[in-house]
Amino acid sequence: MVNQENIAVKAKQLTRKFGDFIATKELTLEVKKGEIFGFLGANGAGKTTAMRMLCGLLKPSSGEATVAGFDVYKEAEKIKKNIGYMSQKFSLYEDLKVTENISLFGGIYGLNRKEIKLKTQNIIEDLNLHSVANKLVRAIPLGWKQKLAFAVAQVHDPKIIFLDEPTGGVDPLTRRQFWNEIYASADRGLTIFVTTHYMDEAEYCHRVSIMVDGEVKALGTPRELKNQYQVNSMDDVFTELARGTSTK
Amino acid sequence: MSAIAVNGISKNFGEIQAVKPMSFSVKEGELFGLIGPDGAGKTTLIKILVTVLKPDSGFATIDHHDVVKDYHYIRNIIGYMPGKFALYQDLSIEENMKFFADVFGTKLEDNLELMGDIYKQIEPFKKRRAGQLSGGMKQKLALCCALIHRPKILILDEPTTGVDAVSRKEFWNMLQHIRTQGISILVSTPYMDEAAKCDRIALMQDGSIIALDTPQAIRDSFTYPIFGIRGANNYHLIEKMKSFPHLRSIYPSGEFAHLVMNQEITLQEIEDFAAKSGEKLIESKLIKADIEDCFIEMMQHG
């Protein structure tokens, strides 16, 4: 038996309909605290709808789910305060300084002046950003930008962080360093929920689920799924599953 | 014979050197990949080649015509698919294709064979407006429009960015089909795993080409011993292995960590070190460097 406190995300038959269309059908999964979970699916497979329900942004039609221990129906506001979000493209304000970005996001999440000041010091210290603290974000190297975006997404100490295609378009060194950061955070107990189109990002996850036409069609470690489908890569697993259905 | 020849082309935007002086050529009938992260200079280079941006220095030819002087000729013989979807969102699939056929003085029917399966996949939706298509469908439509006048050379800027894995695979299959029709192809991508689909690739970083060869030759040129290792906890394993003597680098790569050494070493020595550090090693094997490993090596020590 898994201790309930060690479950970060729990969904049971979570469903969302739009008219006759079932966007997400009976989603059932559990993500453990400190786990890196890859949430995969083709365009239009129902990932976004499922994610919006889990982030407290959309009421489900039926089923149950808790995120960070809070109910998606009754405690949506608490969920929002306990999750973080980062995407490769739109995370930081390029025209603001490094410190200003931290203050801005700290303010949005309701931190007071003292907390923001402390948080800023900690982030600058932890990431060794002293030399660029007062530079505009657009002027700092991509690798630093990415680390900063990850830190800013955690400025309010969320229990779970949602990453949307976290390493798309970055150079391979930055990418592998960033995955090491993700592993480090997971090791400290942060739960990481990754959505991506890129199956080589999926290979880094502890476990993944693959959605096809609104339903989870596969769930397991990348290794288990590759063995199950007798293929060499997650890319091939994905192709096997999505073939024969909508591939638009 | 070169379909594309680039000689010392460069381009600055203010103080930013988007493309530093570079030279290379694409052979006729070749599928050539420009591979590098955002900001490497791929789009700037492509814009120069498709004659919408003038270089600061050097010269380049497309089908033996100068990209600055002979832009009129070039625009008629290339098919260009820009990174951003550039078709008319309010026109249907059919209307977009007719429009591009008219502009190039040709008919849709004349080149259906070239488009082959690509058009067949979007034909059932031909009355649908382009703005209402999914990412994968938009991309197929854009490719059809770029092929409508049977170009000699097809130039595509990040056609697979933001597209799901299945559509991505289909798209590369299409490019390989088009290449068999005698069309030379230059394609850019930030995704290293797409390198293997190309005949030759140029790896780009910070406005420069850091390597140019067949994907196989680039992988073969990696001379350091490299191992794939996997532990009960890869993060802890990587942290411990950082103090391994003669280590060159160690990074996570999918479910493995890639361990690069400065000198030959046995699997036994790796296993012993991991065991001594208290980390359980589940698997360790000598591997061949992938394109990412090569890229990282060239970035750091190239």
Instruction: Pick the last residue of a domain from B193, B218, B243.
Output: B218
Percentage of chain A exceeding pLDDT 90: 76
Q: Specify the higher pLDDT residue, A90 or B242.
A: B242
Mean pLDDT of B258-264: 97
Whether residue B184 is found in the same domain as residue B230: no
Q: Is residue A24 part of a domain?
A: no
A222-229: Cβ within 8 A, 24+ apart: A222/A38, A222/B254, A222/B255, A223/B255
d(CA A84, CA A107): 14
pLDDT tens string A93-134: 999 999 999 999 999 999 999 999 999 999 999 999 999 999
Total tally of structural domains belonging to chain B = 2
Q: What is the DSSP string of B218-255?
A: HHHT--S-EEEEEESSHHHHHHHHTT-TTEEEEEEETT
Q: From the CA of A182, how many Å to the nearest CA of chain B?
A: 9
Q: Is residue A20 part of a domain?
A: no
Whether residue B262 is found in the same domain as residue B160: no
Categorize the per-residue pLDDT at A243 as very low, low, confident or very high, splitting at 50, 70 and 90: low
Mean pLDDT of B156-168: 88
Whether A69 contacts chain B with CB within 8 A: no
Run of H or E residues at A41? strand A36-41
Whether residue A163 is found in the same domain as residue A245: yes
Give the domain extent around A163. 1-8+34-71+82-91+158-248
d(CA B141, CA B128): 11
Cβ–Cβ < 8 Å for A41, A218: no
Mean pLDDT of B240-269: 96
Task: Provide the pLDDT for residue A48.
Answer: 86
d(CA A248, CA B128): 14
Task: Provide the pLDDT for residue A248.
Answer: 39
| Cross-chain Cβ contact B292/A247 below 8 Å | no
Whether residue B31 is found in the same domain as residue B115: yes
| Cross-chain Cβ contact B292/A176 below 8 Å | yes
Give the domain extent around B260. 222-301
d(CA B141, CA B245): 54
- Identity of the residue in A174, A187, A247 whose CB atom sits nearest the CB atom of B166: A247
Best residue of A171, A210, A238 to probe chain B, by most B CBs closer than 10 Å: A171
Q: From the CA of B65, how many Å to the nearest CA of chain A?
A: 32
Q: Give the full edge-to-edge strand order of the sheet including B16-27.
A: B16-27, B2-13, B57-62, B65-66
- Crossing angle for the helix pair A172-187 and B291-301, to the nearest 10 degrees: 100
Reference A68, options A163, A151, A2, A4; nearest CA is: A4
pLDDT over threshold 70, residue A244 = no
Write down the ipTM of this complex.
0.88
Task: Provide the pLDDT for residue A247.
Answer: 41
Task: Provide the pLDDT for residue A2.
Answer: 52
Q: CATH number for the domain including B275? A: 3.30.70.100
Whether residue B249 is found in the same domain as residue B100: no
